[in-house]
Amino acid sequence: MERDLLAKLLVNLTRSHDGVLSQAELIKGFESVLSTLEDAVNDAPKAPEFLGRIFGKMIVENVMSLKEIGRLIGEGGEEARQLVEIGLGGDVIGSTLGMIKKERGESVLNEIRGSSCLRLEDFRPSHPNRSRILETFF
């Protein structure tokens, strides 16, 4: 429940007429969260799923694009592509897609995916430890 409220708050702060939270500030905040996600999972194992739901809300509310979210996840971690290589990137992007599908349906999800030119294969780790969440979208 609180995570859904957080997503709603971020949307409202970004969309406010006063410009309380700029797009650049939102992106910088998400970069910070993604850089510490691997450590956060130790205390909160569902953190990638919760973050994916927040990202999904940003997309369905037209605050950020799937392409931008994909870029952030792809570059995320202490080093570039680290989250993807350890499988957390796939969990985040899979949860993001799941939230979009749940909120807006499969046809809207397919439209968003198509317009983003995002390749889901890019979020599969090179080792066999696949993201079970991402795999449902192949």
Domain 1-136, architecture per CATH: Alpha Horseshoe (1.25)
**Which has the minimum average pLDDT: 15-24, 48-57, 83-92?**
15-24
- For the segment 57-83, the average pLDDT, to the nearest whole number, is 94
Please indicate whether residue 128 or residue 36 has the higher confidence score (pLDDT): 36
Averaged pLDDT for residues 32-43: 95
Q: For residues 37, 43, 45 and 50, what is the CA-based torsion angle, rounded to 10 degrees?
A: -60
Say yes or no to pLDDT of 51 above 80.
Answer: yes
Q: What is the pLDDT of residue 111?
A: 97
pLDDT at residue number 129: 66
CB 66 within 8 A of CB 113: yes
CA distance 24 to 16: 15
- Chain segment 99-129, per-residue pLDDT in tens: 999 999 999 999 999 999 999 999 998 776 6
Q: Can you spell out the DSSP letters for 20-54?
A: SS-HHHHHHHHHHHHHTHHHHHHH-TTHHHHHHHH
Mean pLDDT of the chain: 92
Q: List, for residues 13-32, the tens digit of each pLDDT value.
A: 998 878 799 999 999 999 99
